[in-house]
Amino acid sequence: MSDLTELEAIGMAASLVEQLDAPGIGDEIYALAAELYPICRSITGPGVRETLAILQRSVPLEVREVPTGAPVLDWTVPKEWSIRDAYIKNAAGERVVDFREHALHVMSYSTPVRATMPLQELKKHIFTLPDQPDLIPYRTSYYNENWAFCMRQRALDALPDGAYEVLIDSELKDGVLNYGEYVHVGESSDEVLFSAHICHPQLANDNCSGLALLTLLAARLKGVKTRHSYRFLWAPGTIGAIAWLAANETNTSRIKHGLVLSCVGDAGGPTYKRTRRGDALIDRAMTHVLSAATAAPNIIDFFPYGYDERQYNSPGYLLDVGLFQRSQFATFPEYHTSADNMDFIRPEHLAKSYSWIVGAIDILERDRAYLNLAPKGEPQLGRRRLYAAIGGDKDSYAKSLAMLWVLNLSDGGHTLLQIAERANTPFATIAAIADLLEEKGLLAKA
């Protein structure tokens, strides 16, 4: 092997990334999301259990139960909601709105109703999107007993006056709130938390994409040795995260880093919302990965609205959990409408989202400080076959420069990520160089 090839052999793909990444991952995530898509989920009920049962085929996650009425932090677990059927029928007995056609047609947590009423009265219980007349909106009423239908404005406009038969065959009763939990045990009890919300019905990007990506990530991680332990949560938004926090008061201090995932399958973004702290390792890791991968990532500061990062970053916990998305929620026209369907997400976008998250995991796993064991002057790299001939080969030059950065900053006070940031070089390259220098006896872990 020549001097040059040894340096050139340093690729972007480090061992962990190789083990987690795989061709076809985007198609696998997409197929799983497609299977979850038609299920009518809510914050409780059979749709959540059906979804978790599908995920269990890929990962041995535990299905947890918290009973209705249980106090969880400042909240109370609500009644369990289920729905069998719902429709609006015209005078001819035809279903002009049909729950079986789309789960979004019924406001989530609608109380049961069976009545016949004039259109004018029925309209008080109908949501549409006048600006997007061909789309069905997504509406919920979890903590306020009410019933409503959601429909296309164009379909509503086509309804003649008259009496309509209305049925919502739903039930609100004492039951349980469910969430799924899986822990991958690493060398350390320090944990990385991954969390995705499981409460949305028939919406593809928000959040079948996140549920499916997390599941296949957990499945891949299962066979891999890691430094950290990894905890995965598939939980209903807000109340699920709150129920988990309430049940794990003594465990939350183990969580050192985390990411909430939602809307990870569209072409937009990428978006990363920082932790409340703002400069946590996960913030720097995601910023580094996304900045290296895309020209203009949308990296935003924490604000106390959005997904369950709100709960994890609440002042009583202050866990370093950020939010990863493609398009930022509520900024795209398909958001919370029937246009958030399986055509809106694509395997190639899911594959990219997956690879960026794996890139961040690689940083969490391998970031550490080293000591240069020959710190007086530059060590003679040529003698150790580490010096690349510079002439003409830009890549070799970049790697040689990266190696000099690693040697120069390995004083025990700079971690590899800090070196990667300062050298403006991908972390994977810096980490691979550190491995090589350690093998050559020039570096030791600090």
Instruction: Pick out residues in 296-325 that bind Zn ion (CB under 5 A).
Output: none
Taking the complex as a whole, the smallest distance from the CB of residue 183 to Zn ion amounts, in Å, to 26
Cβ proximity to Zn ion, 207 vs 415, nearer residue: 207
Cβ proximity to Zn ion, 206 vs 283, nearer residue: 206
Cβ proximity to Zn ion, 47 vs 186, nearer residue: 47
Cβ proximity to Zn ion, 206 vs 266, nearer residue: 206
Cβ proximity to Zn ion, 242 vs 417, nearer residue: 242
Q: Which of 206, 309, 320, 340 binds Zn ion (CB under 5 A)?
A: 206
The residue with its CB nearest to Zn ion is 206
* Virtual torsion, Cα 271, 276, 281, 287, nearest 10 deg: 20
Task: Name the pairing type of β-strands 71-72 and 95-98.
Answer: unpaired
Cβ proximity to Zn ion, 206 vs 334, nearer residue: 206
Taking the complex as a whole, the smallest distance from the CB of residue 228 to Zn ion amounts, in Å, to 29
Cβ proximity to Zn ion, 153 vs 328, nearer residue: 328
Taking the complex as a whole, the smallest distance from the CB of residue 279 to Zn ion amounts, in Å, to 28
Phi, psi (degrees; rounded to nearest 5) at 233: -125, 130
**Among all chains, which residue has been given the structure tokens 């550490």?**
368
Cβ proximity to Zn ion, 330 vs 444, nearer residue: 330
Cβ atoms within 10 Å, residue 328: 19
Instruction: Pick out residues in 61-90 that bind Zn ion (CB under 5 A).
Output: none
Taking the complex as a whole, the smallest distance from the CB of residue 351 to Zn ion amounts, in Å, to 23
Cβ proximity to Zn ion, 125 vs 197, nearer residue: 197
CA-based nearest residue to 358, from 56, 61, 12, 36: 12
> Interacting stretch for Zn ion, rule CB under 5 A, among 51-59, 61-69, 198-206, 422-430?
198-206
Taking the complex as a whole, the smallest distance from the CB of residue 318 to Zn ion amounts, in Å, to 24
Is 367 a binding residue for Zn ion by CB under 5 A? The answer is: no
Number of residues that bind Zn ion (CB under 5 A): 1
Cβ atoms within 10 Å, residue 57: 11
Using only C-alpha atoms, the chain has a radius of gyration, in whole angstroms, of: 26
Taking the complex as a whole, the smallest distance from the CB of residue 350 to Zn ion amounts, in Å, to 18
Cβ proximity to Zn ion, 206 vs 309, nearer residue: 206
Taking the complex as a whole, the smallest distance from the CB of residue 33 to Zn ion amounts, in Å, to 15
Taking the complex as a whole, the smallest distance from the CB of residue 207 to Zn ion amounts, in Å, to 7
Taking the complex as a whole, the smallest distance from the CB of residue 237 to Zn ion amounts, in Å, to 7
* Virtual torsion, Cα 22, 190, 52, 78, nearest 10 deg: -150
> Interacting stretch for Zn ion, rule CB under 5 A, among 14-22, 152-160, 203-211, 264-272?
203-211
Structure tokens at 421: 């940031």
* Virtual torsion, Cα 258, 263, 266, 269, nearest 10 deg: -50
Cβ proximity to Zn ion, 229 vs 353, nearer residue: 353
Structure tokens at 395: 């890549």
> Interacting stretch for Zn ion, rule CB under 5 A, among 36-44, 202-210, 275-283, 435-443?
202-210
Give, in order, the Cα–Cα distances in Å from 428 to each of 16, 28, 292, 296, 364.
Answer: 10, 25, 11, 20, 12
Taking the complex as a whole, the smallest distance from the CB of residue 337 to Zn ion amounts, in Å, to 11
Taking the complex as a whole, the smallest distance from the CB of residue 181 to Zn ion amounts, in Å, to 21
Q: Which residues bind Zn ion (CB under 5 A)?
A: 206
